[in-house]
Structures are given as structure tokens and as C-alpha cells.
Structure 1
Amino acid sequence: MSSISETGHAKNVDNLGNLIAGIATYGAKYNPANPLIVATALKAKEASARASIDTLNTAAIRYANASNKRESTFMPLNSLVTRALNVLRSSASADNTDATVASIARKITSTRTAAKKEATATAADVKVATISTSQRSFDSLADNFDRFVEALANIAEYKPNEEELKVEALKAFAAELRSCNNECNAASFALDSARDARNAELYTPNTGLVDVALSAKTYVKALFGVNSTEYKRIASIEFRNKKL
């Protein structure tokens, strides 16, 4: 199976707990030679798998919070860039100077529109590919805004009276954007790492939760027989695998 919902991962862990409860009723009869499926090993696997899911859930919440903070921080960017550009155009600066700054501004406003769409998709369903694309968009925004501010800082005619449009204020905002974006990128990488760890814990061939649980079920089948009450008690407990 190529995909499984976040609920499905947790269900695998829950079902291992159910399997362990069933196995406990067999007492000393359950005595497999495979060390991975002895009762203590199964309990340890359940605990480590559940911990990996808890860690992932925490990382997902942190990423969502950082993403929402970044989105709100970047929200005024288009308006601010447009206002600053119009202040420049209203000054005595040369037309070719205005054109150069306007070309940087266009990169910001067009990327900002794309980033807003990606952020909406990410909020609805956190996906690695979407995060990666959104990350690049916001990196580009921060880079181009730095260029935009630096360009204005080197134009003598750019001397707005509005505090929020002055070069120092724009530089402070650029630093805030950069800090916020870095925080979100770090949370994204942490989320990816936690997802990889969860997948390894549950789905690594032979030693992951799913394969271990299926091996335990197979041992019960061999021990008591496919038509036995003991096996039928745990036969319907399902474990869904996924491709790593």
C-alpha cells in the first residue's frame, strides 16, 4: 500500500496493543524462538512506536504554528513593497532606476501570490512536497526583499516621510521576515525528520511494528492452528503496511 492516513499509523500501534492483550491470555504457551516477538519485545515495540507518533504530532503542531506565524508576518509584504515603489516613482529618481527597483518588486509580488496558495494547501494537509515548494517561495521572498531594500538604500532620492517606509524600518522588517522564515524552515526539517523516524519505527522490513506484529500472528497460527479459538481471537486484528 503506497499511502496510509495519519489515523492509520496510530491504528497500527493501537492494534499492536490489542494483539499483546490477546497474546497475554495464552500464558506460558506463547514462547516464540524469535526474540522480536516475545511478549516483552512486543511491549517495547508498542511503546517506542507510540513515542514516535507523539513526537511527530508535536513536530506537526510546531510546524503549523510556525507556518501560520510566517504567513501572518509576510502578509503586509506586497502592500509595503507597492507603497515604497510608488514613493520612489513619485520622487525625482531616474526612470531607469525606477525600472530596476520595479523589476525586483515584481518578483516579490508574483512569488507572494504563489506562496499564499501553497500555504493554504499546507495548512489543510501537511505534505512534504508542498512544504518544500512553499519553503522555496518564502526563501525567495526574503532574498528579493533584501535586494529591494538594499536598492532603495542606495537611491539618494528615496526619502519618504512615512516611518514604516523609511529604509531603516524596511531593514528591520526584512530582518523579521528572515528570522520568521528561518524558524519555519527549521520546523519543516524537524517535521520531516520526525516523519522519517515514525516510518522507520513502524515500517522497516522485518523489524518494524507491522512486520513484527504479523510475525507474532503467524506464530500464534503455527502454535494453535488456523482454526483454533486462540488464533481466531487475534486473526481479525489488522496491520497496514506502507512503502518507505
Structure 2
Amino acid sequence: MSKNETGHAKNIANANLLCSHIADLGSKYNPSNPKLLLANLQNIYNSAFTSQEAVNNSVAPYSLAVDNREKLFTPVSKKITKLRKMYKATEGVFQAQLEDFMTIARKLKGVRKVKPVATTDTEEEQKQNSVSQMGYDLRTNNYDQLISLLQNTPNYNPNETEYQVATLQQEKNQMLQATQAVADTFIPLNAARSLRNNTVYNSEDNLVDVFNKAKDYLFTILESNSPEYKAISRIKFKTR
């Protein structure tokens, strides 16, 4: 679980912990605000816990899809270097064709992986994923252009299977499938995160706000030097 996801889980776990402390107080805990009643707090916690479980169950398929895509794309740069040599060794290939090859090759090698910034903003998560998808889509498109160049070079017909057009086309199809798998698994993950973020942070009666209010009420009925007060003061609910 990422550091960001751990933060969400900590807020939810702390909600359960605060509910336990409140339950131990019994009738002493008697807020006039119905939203702070233990039953309501427990309902908020249960909803948040369920929504976090949905996120957890969606993370693994997405992570595996991302890893698989990276595994496919990582060797491309080295392969392009060897392909250039194979292309240069092809009978009848002249300088202008080599320059066309290198123009496409530079585009393929020039895309750098950017690590997304952790966020609880669903729109930002969608934006980061969209940028990443576009990067891989462009690389696949450039790979397709390179294949087309080789395919239309009359004497390009290497004996080595890994450099043959049919092999390159198969690799391109695998790239397309891998990128589509990332998109397909991101959709349920993004939906689960959106629901979780709404429950924990964004709704009118979100977990962080309501449980912080419950703490405020608790501090009015507990002595500041009491063990209960000190224990509850250590329970934190953070927006980030």
C-alpha cells in the first residue's frame, strides 16, 4: 500500500479506535448533536471501511497491469539502437532513410516516465492517469510508424526473428493490449477512490470533520489530566 493509501487507512482505523473509546464512556458520552452519536459515528466508520476495502481490492489488478506494461516498454530503447544498426546494414538504405528512422527513434526514446504525485483529489488522479496513458499511446504510435518505415524499405528482410516486421507488429499489439488493460483496471480503482474520498474527506458529513467534532465534544466532558483525555488526544484525523 502506498504512503498516501496508508494515510487514508490510518484515518479509518482511528475512527474505529475513537468509537471504542466512546463506547467505554457509556452514558457519560451524551452529545446534543445527533451527528455525533455513537451509532452515527459507527455508521460513518463502517461506510469508510467498506469503501477502503473496495479501493484495496482494485489496486492489485491496476498495479499488475501497470507493471506488465512497463515490462513491455522498458526494452524498447535498447531494441531501437539495435534496429538502427540492422537498418543501416540493409542493402540500398541511404542517408535520408536513416534520418527518417532516427527522427522516429528519438521520439520513442525521448518519453520519460514521470512518477505521479500522491493525491486525494480524484480529478487530479484522472489527470495523472490520462497523461500517462497518452505517453504510452504516443510511444506505441511511434513504434507503429517505425514498423511502417521498415515494412516499406524494399531490402529490409532480416534473418533474425526479433528484428522481423512480423515480430515488431506482434510487440506493437502487445503494447496496445497492455495499455488498454491499464485503462480498464484504472476505471474501477478511480471509482472506488472517489467513493472513499467522498466518505472520508469530501461529503458534507465526512469522517474527518465529524470525528474531529466528536473529539471536540469529548474534550468538554473529560478532564485534561485523565487517561481517557490523553489517549483520545493522540488520535488524529487528517485531511492529507
- Per the TM superposition, whether the score is higher than 0.5 is yes
Q: Which residue of 2 aligns with 1:162?
A: 160
Contact 1:213 1:239 (C-alpha < 8 Å) held by counterparts: no
| 2:218 maps to 1:207 | no
Contact 2:18 2:235 (C-alpha < 8 Å) held by counterparts: no
* TM-score after normalising by structure 1: 0.78
Q: 2: distance between equivalents of 1:133 and 1:204?
A: 25
Q: 1: distance between equivalents of 2:218 and 2:27?
A: 13
* TM-score after normalising by structure 2: 0.79
Farther-moved stretch of structure 1 (68-77 vs 233-242)? 233-242
Farther-moved stretch of structure 1 (142-151 vs 202-211)? 202-211
Q: Which residue of 1 aligns with 2:171?
A: 173
Farther-moved stretch of structure 1 (194-203 vs 165-174)? 194-203
Contact 2:35 2:41 (C-alpha < 8 Å) held by counterparts: yes
Q: 2: distance between equivalents of 1:178 and 1:88?
A: 24
How far does residue 65 in structure 1 lie from its aligned partner after superposition?
Answer: 2.0
Structure 2 CA distance for partners of 1:39 and 1:56, relative to 1, 3 Å: same
| 2:48 maps to 1:58 | no
Contact 1:19 1:237 (C-alpha < 8 Å) held by counterparts: no
1:26-56 Cα shifts (integer Å, max 9, x gaps): 4355454544332222112111112222233
Alignment partner of 2:236 out of 208, 218, 239: 239
List aligned pairs for 1:16-31, cutoff 5 A. Answer: 16-28=15-27, 30-31=29-30
Q: Tell me the amino acid that sits aligned with residue 109 of structure 2.
A: T
1:105-141 Cα shifts (integer Å, max 9, x gaps): 1211222xx23xx3xx46xx86658656544432221
Q: 2: distance between equivalents of 1:8 and 1:126?
A: 11
Contact 1:55 1:194 (C-alpha < 8 Å) held by counterparts: yes
SS at 1:155's partner residue?
coil
Q: Which residue of 1 aligns with 2:97?
A: 97
Structure 2 CA distance for partners of 1:34 and 1:234, relative to 1, 3 Å: farther
Q: Which residue of 1 aligns with 2:150?
A: 152
Q: Tell me the amino acid that sits aligned with residue 106 of structure 1.
A: R
Q: Which residue of 1 aligns with 2:192?
A: 194
Contact 2:199 2:207 (C-alpha < 8 Å) held by counterparts: yes
Contact 2:31 2:37 (C-alpha < 8 Å) held by counterparts: yes
1:124-164 Cα shifts (integer Å, max 9, x gaps): x8665865654443222111111111222222222112222
How far does residue 185 in structure 1 lie from its aligned partner after superposition?
Answer: 3.5
Q: 2: distance between equivalents of 1:108 and 1:234?
A: 56
1:181-231 Cα shifts (integer Å, max 9, x gaps): 222244445444433332221112641111111222334455x46669697
Percent of aligned pairs with the same residue?
A: 27
Q: 2: distance between equivalents of 1:151 and 1:189?
A: 35
How far does residue 178 in structure 1 lie from its aligned partner after superposition?
Answer: 1.2
Q: 2: distance between equivalents of 1:88 and 1:100?
A: 11
| 2:42 maps to 1:40 | no
Q: Tell me the amino acid that sits aligned with residue 11 of structure 1.
A: K
Farther-moved stretch of structure 1 (69-78 vs 54-63)? 54-63
Unaligned runs of 5+ in 2: 120-124
Contact 1:108 1:145 (C-alpha < 8 Å) held by counterparts: yes
Q: 1: distance between equivalents of 2:135 and 2:188?
A: 19
CA RMSD of aligned residues (A): 3.1
Q: Tell me the amino acid that sits aligned with residue 210 of structure 1.
A: V
Q: 2: distance between equivalents of 1:189 and 1:165?
A: 35
Q: Which residue of 2 aligns with 1:184?
A: 182
Q: Tell me the amino acid that sits aligned with residue 239 of structure 1.
A: K
SS at 2:239's partner residue?
coil
Unaligned runs of 5+ in 1: none
Q: Tell me the amino acid that sits aligned with residue 47 of structure 2.
A: S
